[in-house]
Structure 1
Amino acid sequence: MNRAAVEVVDPGPLSTLQDLGRTGWAHLGVPRAGALDRGAAALARRLVGGAVDDAVIETTLGGIVLRTRRAVTLAVTGAPCPVRVDRRTVDHGAAVTVPAGAEVSVGAATSGVRSYVALSGGIDVEPVLGSRSTDTLAWVGPARLAAGHLLAVGSPPSPSDLPEPPPAIVVRPRARELRLVRGPRADWLGEGSWQALDGATYVVGADSDRVGLRLDGPRVERRGGELPSEGLVLGGVQLPPSGQPVVFLADHPTTGGYPVVALLLDDDLDLCAQLRPGDEVALRTM
């Protein structure tokens, strides 16, 4: 492992390391984990010329402060936020080379929830079960970042290996809609409940996290009783007795006993990563 390149000065409310996730272990009860906003994490890696599965830092609402031990190239994507190197403001969504001894401040998100910090060469930590992702349900993988943590960085690619820089990214506001298809237990829905979901508006619950997006709003009627525990998947929409839907995200459990009445379209998962508690979101049935 290379010598430490970056020190964590202030980790913010919650900062973790994430790659593409931990696959092939669900049968043993180990969640997948991985970056919640996959598109933003992929863009950060590409901006610094990284590999598709390089580990990046995922911040939550409050950002992170880092100090470089040697010169590094980094990029910040995801939730819009101020980015500063010492006292100089630098661009969000662009690769920046930072000298040794500089303080990098990734500020609080001005909208959205999660920002991503990629370092050229990737963050070099020991994989756990084949992944460098932190799972916040079972806390498998690297520990959550804390002040004083030293992060090693792999060897950056040579200039000849760097891809063409991506074109300028124009971020446009996206309608806060989550599209659903019928799930394996849609027959547990009450009469007319599927139709009632189309266009229904919910508020993102305060207890939403990397495990699941919890929605508060119109009660969805379902039949009584419980199921034997069965497998769960990313994007599954579970309906507990409260009638308030839960959308499972990257750190979801591998089994559960409430019916999965719908599945979220894969393209809408990244939006879930950036919805804040109190945000309104509309459901659309397909």
Structure 2
Amino acid sequence: MSDLQVVRPGPLTTVQDLGRRGVAHLGVPRAGALDEPALRAANRLVGNGPAAAGLETTLGGVALRALGPVLIPVTGAPAPVTVDGRAAAWGAPIAVPSGAVVEVGTATAGVRGYLAVAGGIAVPPVLGSRSADLLSGLGPAPLAAGDRLPVGTPPPCRDRAELVPLPAPPAELVLRLRLGPRADWFAPSAVDRLARDGYRVSAASNRIGLRTEGPVVGRTRTGELPSEGMVLGAVQIPPDGQPVVFLADHPTTGGYPVIGVVPAADLAAAAQTRPGTPVRFVPLREK
């Protein structure tokens, strides 16, 4: 049995795959890895399918004891990796012998790291996904010391990738913005200001949403908006006027106006952006 036992869970480490898709009509968020390309890369390095579950760490890493020989890579936020105290490669497969402790240290850049294992983390799926959803409470709880994580059957060695390049965490977060559905609740000057004025990532950001700090985005309409469906990447403007970009654990409905939607391709960078990082919105206007 090649299970993993949690020695040090880190500040917030969760099991994540590609999330629960097609269940928003049930009020269930998508969840899944915030930096999806990084999880996909980790799975490719050990020959897993793209939907295999791995671990998502947050800033402080994680330490795990191998209860049998395992093959693991670490991607996402760059961080030191050791096996029984000896330096190991980041971004490449690492053979961890039975009984050894593999440790991912504090991220040197970015926020979220991804640790995959050949065979995937085989916790029971819920609604088609093994992901932990911090908003609804579905899926496994965040890791705690002493937890035992089951590992699936490793895939054939011939299916492994040798190298999967990934972009560095951004020094400035640039988010394209498709305007609507409630852009008409804001003056055109407010949209221009959103693109022109500087925002920064707030320390209150989490898996639910990337919160920003900067100039207030004011409404031209008053009153309440009936609750309506929300999508991944929706930029909601709450009463304080500070834009919030919805991420994987976002609610499926909301009552604040959405000025626009960030394309999913831009959200991996948002997952790796630390508090204080400059944010620039780039509205995509129809021609």
TM-score normalised by length of structure 1: 0.95
2:207 equivalent among 207, 210, 235 = 210
Residue 24 of structure 1: CA displacement?
Answer: 2.0
Partners in 2 of 1:181 and 1:47 — Cα distance? 34
In structure 2, the residue matched to 1:112 is: 110
Paired letter, 1:193: A
Deviations 1:235-263 (A, max 9, x none): 00001111110000000001010011111
Secondary structure at the aligned position of 1:250 is classed as: coil
Single out whichever of 253-262 and 192-201 deviates more from structure 2: 192-201
1:165-220 CA-partner distances (Å, limit 9, x unpaired): 236x3744644211111021111112411111113211111111000000110111
Does residue 184 (structure 1) correspond to residue 181 (structure 2)? The answer is yes
Pairwise CA distance, 1:224: 1.7
Per the TM alignment, residue 78 of structure 1 is displaced from its structure 2 partner at its CA by 0.3
CA distance in 1, matches of 2:155, 2:188: 58
- Which one-letter code corresponds to 2:244 in the other structure? V
Q: How many aligned positions are there?
A: 282
CA 1:259–1:112: 2 relative to 1, 3 Å? same
- Matched letter for residue 68 of structure 1: A
TM-score normalised by the chain length of structure 2: 0.95
SS in 1 for 2:269: helix
Cα displacement string for residues 9-31 of structure 1 (whole angstroms, at most 9, x for unaligned residues)? 11011000000101122112111
- Could you tell me whether the CA contact under 8 Å between 1:224 and 1:241 is conserved in 2? no
Identity of aligned residues (%): 55
Q: 1:83 aligns with which of 70, 81, 84?
A: 81
- Change in 2 beyond 3 A, CA 1:164/1:58: closer
Alignment of 1:1-286 (within 5 A): 3=1, 5-160=3-158, 162-166=159-163, 169=165, 171-172=167-168, 174=170, 175-222=172-219, 223-286=221-284
Q: Gaps spanning 5+ residues in structure 2: where?
A: none
Partners of 2:110 and 2:168 in 1: CA distance: 13
The answer as to whether partners of 1:68 and 1:100 remain within 8 angstroms in 2 is yes
